[in-house]
Amino acid sequence: MTTSTTKMPYRHLGRSGLKVSVLSFGSWVSFGTQMDVDQAEACMVEARNHGVNFFDNAEAYAGGKSEELMGEIIERQGWARHSFVVSSKFFWGIHGPDAENAFNTLNRKYLLEAIDPSLERLKLDHLDLIFCHRADPDTPIEETVRAMHEIVSSGKALYWGTSEWSADEVRAAYEIADRHGWHKPVMEQPQYNMFNRDKVETEFNRLYRDIDLGLTTWSPLASGLLTGKYIDGIPEDSRAALEGYEWLADQMTDESQNNVVKDLAAVASDLDCTLAQLALAWCASNPNVSTVITGASRPEQVTENMKAIDVLEKLNDDVLNRIEAILAR
């Protein structure tokens, strides 16, 4: 296989001592919907062969099926537990809207009862990272922070964090934990790509300085828009063509954004890389980003994504300024 010529770099996850690969691999949408266990295994193995050590998941992905597939793959591969990092996220639940205390919530009951089934599906005795998948305006933050503290204290997870919380919500959680001597949130998982920048580049700025917040960013390719494959419409085999993802199809056909993608293609051409590799490298060039979560439905896609590490080495100030000028139009 063709591999990246640059060794995978690793970064600390925020203020923690844990190191994660700059490019990681996530299972959203693909595991259990687009891929069976053999396809998923081929992708995870390919990612690991390129130095990826962080694999992202969530309870709600495919209603728990994604965790089951990842757990089966890890067991089949027999990877040493110290050699990989696994996450899961909690909020949506998997029991449907009739489950009043286990649907769209971060209440203590739900969180403490959700962790064990998640571990069973993943065939693990602990998660490395556990996320509150969204903020819950109906549950006091202190209740959620205490529950996450207890999960970490029990050894069922090692570090906890948030996903798509506001800066004010993250700071409130941190200060509550600090006041009580509880385990503090270490990381946030926001969307970050060339079309979604404000939260990472502006809103969170004080948090990097004040609490050394780590980031595990998702959707670096803007759900595929930054690959260029939607410039001429929606391919039948794309994520945007899946039933239930009509909202995504609308985003992918935005003319102004696709014009930006066309201009970015010229930059990628000059760097002798693909648009996807350029977009991934651009995300990784932000020093506040601990890891960029990638996705793929074929091992060949994983191989191509990993070449973004080579592109990262080429992103000097001149190239970054050229990209910035295109994005500012």
- β-strands 85-90, 19-21 pairing: unpaired
Q: Is 245 among the catalytic positions?
A: no
Answer whether 25's CB lies under 8 Å from 295's CB.
yes
Dihedral sign from CA coordinates of 271, 275, 280, 282: positive
Instruction: Give the count of beta carbons closer than 10 Å to the beta carbon of residue 106.
Output: 24
117 closest CA partner among 135, 95, 139: 95
Which candidate in 61, 110, 159, 230 is catalytic?
A: 61
Tokens of 23: 């490019």
Answer whether 13's CB lies under 8 Å from 28's CB.
no
- What phi and psi, each to the nearest 5 degrees, are found at residue 51? 100, 0
| Distance between CA atoms of residues 111 and 116, nearest Å | 10
| Distance between CA atoms of residues 296 and 44, nearest Å | 9
Tokens of 267: 């930059």
Catalytic annotation, residues = 61
